[in-house]
Structure 1
Amino acid sequence: MSRTITRHDLADLARGAALLGTGGGGDPYVGRLLVERAMLTGSGTITLLDPGELGDDDLVIPVAQMGAPTVMVEKIPGGGEAVAALRALEERLGRRADATMPIECGGINSMMPLLVAARTGLPVVDADGMGRAFPELQMETFSVYGVPGSPLAIGGENGETVIIDTGADNARMEWLARGITIRMGGVAHIAEYAMSGADVKRTAVPNTLGLGLRIGRALREAREEHRDPVQALAAAMEGTLYDKVRVLFRGKVVDVERRTVAGFARGHARLAAFQGPGELELTFQNEHLVARADGRVRCVVPDLICVLDADSGEPITTEGLRYGQRAVVVGISTPALMRTPEALAVFGPRAFGLDIDFRPVEDLVSP
C-alpha cells in the first residue's frame, strides 16, 4: 500500500539508510538536505509505492549517485544531476518513466530517488536492487535475475550527460561508467536498469525504504529513551527479511587505513575490545566486506556489517571511522534472494577477491 513521505520522515530514513549502507553508499545526511530543499519548493510530500501497486507495463527508471564516498564528502551535488540523467535516459528510450526507484537502499542512494521525485513529481517504488549498498553497478539483484543495466545515462555537475550501452554486459557497463565518473571528478549521477513493473516485482528486494525508516525511528527512540540501541535494532528487524541480528564486537577504534583507489574507498579498520584481549578487523571497499575477530570470520558480504556508535546508536560510515571511537559492530542477515548461488556469484565474497566462502551470519555467531 502506498504511503506519503514528508520532510519530518527524512532524518529517520537517513539514519536507517546509513545502517543499511553497511558503512558505504555515501553520507545520507547530504542527500537528506538536498531532498528537504527540493520538498520546500515542491508539493512537500513524496509518494512511496509498494511494488505490488505497479502495473506490469509501467516503466520504472532507478537513479543513483556513483563514486567514492570519500570524494562525496567534499563534492556536494547541485541537485539537478540525477534528474538530467533520468531525462537523458527517457529520451534514449523514447518514453517517460512512470516511477523511479533506488538501485540501493543504503547511504545517499536512498535519497537520490526522493530528490528526483521531489523535483519531478514521480512516485518512488519502495524496493531496490541491493538490499544494502554495494560498490559496483553489476552487483544488483536486477542483474542477477536477468535485467540489463544498459542503456545507462550519466549526469555530471557541469550539465553534461553520457549514454553507455553495453547490452547485457553489466560488468562492462560498470567499468566504463566508473572511468567516466572518475573523469567527472570522482562523483556522478546515473539512471540505469530501466525495467517494467513486472520485472521490479520479480527481481527487486521489496520494502527496503520503509525498512530504513523503521530502523532509523527505532534507533532514535532508543537514544531518546536511553535504551540499548542494539536491542532496539533487533526488535525493529523482527518479522522482516533481515531478521537475524548478531553483535560481532564491542570496542574502540584503534587504527584506520583508508585510501581512494580507482573510484573506490578501500581500506581496513581495527577495533580493540573494551576489556581484556581481543581485536576485530574490518575490510571495506566503500562498504564493509568482512569482519574478522582474532582472525576468525564473523560476518562476510553479502550479509550486512554495520558499525554503530556505542553510546548513541548512530551508524558510522567507512569515511567517518576515526581513532578512539567507541563502537558496536553488528552483523545482519540478508534476504534469501541475495544468498542464492546466482547472487553469490555476483556479490558474494569471491566477487571481491576474498578467498572465503559465504556462510550466513547466524551460523557464524550464536544469538
Structure 2
Amino acid sequence: MSWTLRKADLDDLARGAALLGTGGGGDPFVGKMLVTQALGEAGEITILDPEELDDDAWVIPVAQMGAPTVVVEKMPRGTEPELALITLEKHTGRTADATMPMECGGINSMIPLLVAARRGLPVVDADGMGRAFPQLEMETFSVYGISASPLAMANEHDEVAIFDTGSDNARLEGLARGVTSRFGGMAHIAQYSMTGADVKRTAIPRTLSLASAIGRSIRLSREQRVDPVQALVDGLADTLYGYGRVLFHGKVIDVDRRTDEGFARGSVRIAGVGDEELEVQFQNENLIAVQSGVMVAIVPDLICIVEADTAEPITTEGLRYGQRVAVIGIATPPIMRTPEALAVFGPASFGLDRPFLPVETLEQPVLAE
C-alpha cells in the first residue's frame, strides 16, 4: 500500500536504511539532513507501492556514487541528483513519472526522496539490491535484463556527463567510476530507466517500508528499555528477508581502511570473549565475516555492524577502535540468491575464494580455507 512520508518519519527511515546498507550506502545523517531541508518546502512525499505503479509509467532511479569515506569530508550541495535526472530526461526525451532508489543505504535511500521533494515526484517503494553493493552492475535490474545505459552523471559544479555502453553494464561501471574519481571521488547519477512493468518484474519490493519498520523497531525498543538488537533480529522473521541472527558481540580492536580506486576497502577486527575474534572484510559494504577461522556469513547475505547497546548502525567509514558492537547476519531475499544473481554479486565478484552459503545454514559454520 502506498503511504505518505513526512519529516517526522525520516529518523526511522534513515536508521533502517543504514542497517540494510550493510556498512555502505552513505552516511545516514547527511542523507537525512538533505531530505529534511527539501521537505521544508515540499511538506510530504508519496511513497508508491510497486503494485500500484502503472505498467507504462516511466521510472528513473537516482543515487550517489563514490567512496563513502569521501562524503564525510565532501558534503553534497543537494542539487546534483536532480540535475542528473534532468540531464537523462533531456538525453532520452522521456520525462520521469516517478523515481526510485537503486540500493538501500543511509544516503542512497534518501537521494530519491530529495529528488522527489524537489521535483514533485512519487518514489517507488522498491530498489535493485535490497542492501547496498559497491558497483553499478550489481543490481537485480541488471541481472534480470534492464540496461544500465544511458547513465547521466552530475557534480556540485553543475558538470554533467552521459555514458551509453549498450548492454555492457560492467563496462559502464568502469567508465563512470573513472569520472567519479575525477569529480573528486563523488558523483550523483540517474540510470536504469524502466517501465512500471519492469519495476514489478526486477525490483525488490517495499524496501523503504521495511527500512522504516526496522528503524521504528529500534527506536521503540530503546524507549521500552528492551534489547534493541534482539528486537531487530526478531522483527525480520515476517519480512521478505525472513531470517537474521546475532553473529558476534565484542569490541573493535583494529580497523584497516583505505580509499582505493573509488572504493572504501579494508577490514575490521572485533575481539569477543576469551580468544574469540571476528574479522569482517569490506568494499564499501561488508562482504564476509570470519570468526576465529570459521566463516559465519558471506555476500550477498547482509552483514550489519551495530552499536551493542543501541543497535544504531555503523557504516564502514564510521568504524573506530574501542566501539562495542554486535554483528548481525541477515538472509538476503530469494531474488538475490538465484544462479544469475550470484554470478553478478556473489562472492567471486569480489575476489572471494569462497562458495556462497546461506547465513541460516551456518549456525554450525564451516571452516574458512
TM-score category of the 2 structures, normalised to the smaller one: over 0.9
Paired residues of 1:16 and 1:212 also in contact (CA < 8 A): yes
1:322 match: 320
TM, length-normalised to structure 1: 0.98
Q: Distance in 2 between matches of 1:6 and 1:107?
A: 17
Question: Runs ≥4 in structure 1, deviation > 4 angstroms?
Answer: none
Distance, in Å, in 2 between the alignment partners of 1:28 and 1:120 is 22
- 2:108 is paired with a residue whose SS is helix
Give the structure 2 partner of residue 296 of structure 1: 294
State the alpha-carbon separation in 2 of the partners of residues 102 and 212 from structure 1.
12
Q: Is 1:291–1:305's contact at 8 Å kept on the other side of the alignment?
A: yes
Question: SS of 2:86's equivalent?
Answer: helix
CA–CA separation in structure 1 for the residues paired with 2:364 and 2:124: 35
Counterpart in the other structure of 1:45: 44
1:66-81 equivalence runs, <5 A: 66-81=65-80
Aligned mates of 2:235, 2:362 — CA distance in 1: 22
8 Å Cα contact 1:223/1:313 also seen in 2: no
TM-score (structure 2 length as normaliser) = 0.98
Q: 1:95-145 CA distances to partner (integer Å, 9 max, x unpaired)?
A: 110000000022210000000001000000000000000000000000000
Give the superposition deviation at 1:234.
Answer: 2.1
Q: 1:162 offset after TM fit, Å?
A: 0.5
* Contact 1:234–1:243 (CA under 8 A) maintained in structure 2: no
Distance in 2, Cα, partners of 1:95 & 1:308: 42
Contact 2:35 2:113 in 1 (8 A): yes
Aligned AA for 1:305?
I
| Preserved contact between residue 229 and residue 308 of structure 2 (Cα < 8 Å) | no
Equivalent in the alignment of 2:150: 151
After superposition, give the CA deviation of every residue in 1:272-314 in whole Å (9 maximum; x if it has no partner): 00x3220000000000000000011100000000001011110
What SS is found at the alignment partner of 1:311?
coil
Between the aligned partners of 2:41 and 2:136, the Cα distance in structure 1 is: 32
Question: Following the alignment from structure 1 to structure 2, what is the Cα–Cα distance between the partners of residues 105 and 60?
Answer: 17
Deviation of 1:366 (Å): 5.9
Deviation at 1:36, TM superposition (A): 0.4
CA RMSD of aligned residues (A): 1.0
Task: Indicate the larger mover: 336-345 or 227-236.
Answer: 227-236
Matches of 1:358 and 1:246 in 2, distance apart?
Answer: 18
User: Could you tell me which residue of structure 2 aligns to residue 13 of structure 1?
Assistant: 13
State the match for 1:129 in structure 2: 128
1:127-206 equivalences under 5 Å are 127-206=126-205
CA distance, structure 1, for counterparts of residue 219 and residue 340 of structure 2: 37
Q: Which residue of 2 aligns with 1:105?
A: 104
| Alignment correspondent of 1:267 | 266
Equivalent residue runs for 1:223-234 within 5 Å: 223-234=222-233
Partner Cα distance (2:30, 2:364) in 1: 36
Per the alignment, residue 22 of structure 2 pairs with 22
Q: Aligned AA for 1:189?
A: H
Are 1:362 and 2:360 matched, yes or no? Answer: yes
Q: Contact 2:290–2:296 (CA<8 Å) still a contact in 1?
A: yes
* Distance (whole Å) between structure 2 residues aligned to residue 228 and residue 198 of structure 1: 41
More off after superposition, 257-266 vs 219-228:
219-228
